[in-house]
Amino acid sequence: MQQHQMLSLADQVFEVIEKDILVGTYEKGEVLTEARLCDQLRVSRTPVREAIKRLCQEHLLEVTPKGMSVIGISAEDILDIYEIRYRLEGLAARRAVENITPEALKEMEETLELQQFYASKQDLESMKNMDSLFHQDIYRFCGSNPLKYTLEPLVMRIVKYRKASLSVPDRAARSLEEHWAIYNAIADRDADRAEQLMKNHIYAASASLLKELGRELRRD
């Protein structure tokens, strides 16, 4: 709540619509109008108009004669995002080894313990959130703002599909094991092992997602 208090109304509107697009509340091809969004969000046209402009710049919406059409995330986008993550998250894990503090390690451990708890409860939504938080921990503690600001929005763009990946039988348990292995490599200050384990983890997540969504991801 405090974060939103520091944002302008247009920023808040942008974040809400962006999230609804990325989690699939608004489906690909769905038409959004200013009037509809104003009514749903109970705000005036000005912040909605500003948010729409930004969403078009982010290539999440496009202008059509009927209104704003949801572009969403294409199959090609998802595959590209995983390739970028494969190449950059290994580097982020390596940098985390170089910059990690005892306090940061404790935070990462707590994140993994929560992920383990939710796994025992088969709470897929909370597991997804903790899975995302672990990666965000890596970005925060890697000591590189360019890496952090590149990776964070990419992961946000595929949040809907990451839950699908974890729904593959046994994938959630393997993902947790992979997270613990990455954490241990960072705690052991083994940069080579941390980097390779992270690459392996991203590759496995990508393969799991493709297996689950195969035909859907190949649609035009």
Question: Which residues make up the CATH 1.20.120.530 domain(s) of the chain?
Answer: 75-217
CA-based Rg of the chain, rounded to a whole angstrom? 19
Tell me how far CA of residue 55 lies from CA of 42, 51, 95, in angstroms. Answer: 19, 6, 32
Strand partners, 70: 61
CA pair distance 153, 14, nearest whole angstrom: 14
* CA nearest to 29, candidates 70, 68, 83, 80: 70
Question: Which architecture, in CATH terms, is 75-217?
Answer: Up-down Bundle (1.20)
CATH class (in words) of the domain with range 2-70:
mainly alpha
* CA nearest to 93, candidates 203, 178, 192: 192
Q: What is the 3-state secondary structure (H, E, C) of 126-162?
A: HHHHHHHHHHHHHHHHCCCHHHHHHHHHHHHHCHHHH
Give the SS3 label for residue 167: coil
Burial of 215 (0-12, 13-18, 19+ CB in 10 A): exposed
| Per-residue pLDDT tens digits of the chain, which is 220 residues long | 334 444 688 889 998 998 888 777 888 899 999 999 999 999 999 999 999 999 998 888 998 888 899 987 777 888 899 999 999 999 999 999 999 999 999 999 999 999 999 988 888 888 888 998 999 999 999 999 999 999 998 888 887 676 666 666 688 889 999 999 999 999 999 999 999 999 999 999 888 877 766 544 444 4
Give the SS3 label for residue 193: helix
